[in-house]
Amino acid sequence: DTEVTQTPKHLVMGMTNKKSLKCEQHMGHRAMYWYKQKAKKPPELMFVYSYEKLSINESVPSRFSPECPNSSLLNLHLHALQPEDSALYLCASSQDRAAEAFFGQGTRLTVV
């Protein structure tokens, strides 16, 4: 199984809503990542978890809150988002931080 599964595939939320994005992998990878991708732009790193601990936060606003409940799961909690936060949110995992990363299909988020 070389798959990273993200749910939901699409999400529309209002600026006062609270929602969560979910990511799951069963490859035994110990590093997991959240990236944000705007249209026609490269993925931008948001957060890195290594051995279930947050190791990198790329100065992401506090309205994005990551959580790693166990080694297979990664969540991104969303609260009070802005329309400019609309993007494709990608989850990835790798054996460790120096190995190739496998990406999920992403969650297409629209903030209205």
Partner 1 sequence: GESVGLHLPTLSVQEGDNSIINCAYSNSASDYFIWYKQESGKGPQFIIDIRSNMDKRQGQRVTVLLNKTVKHLSLQIAATQPGDSAVYFCAENQAGTALIFGKGTTLSVSS
| Binding stretches for partner 1 (CB under 8 A) | 4, 31, 33, 40-45, 48, 56, 90, 92, 96-98, 100-106, 108
Q: Distance (Å, rounded) from C-alpha 30 to C-alpha 46?
A: 17
Give me the least distance between CB of 54 and partner 1, in Å please: 12
Cis peptide before 8 (omega within 30 of 0): yes
Distance in Å, CB of 11 to partner 1, minimum: 15
* Tokens representing residue 95 in the block: 């054996």
- Shortest CB 82 distance to partner 1, Å: 23
| 31 vs 68 by CB, closer to partner 1 | 31
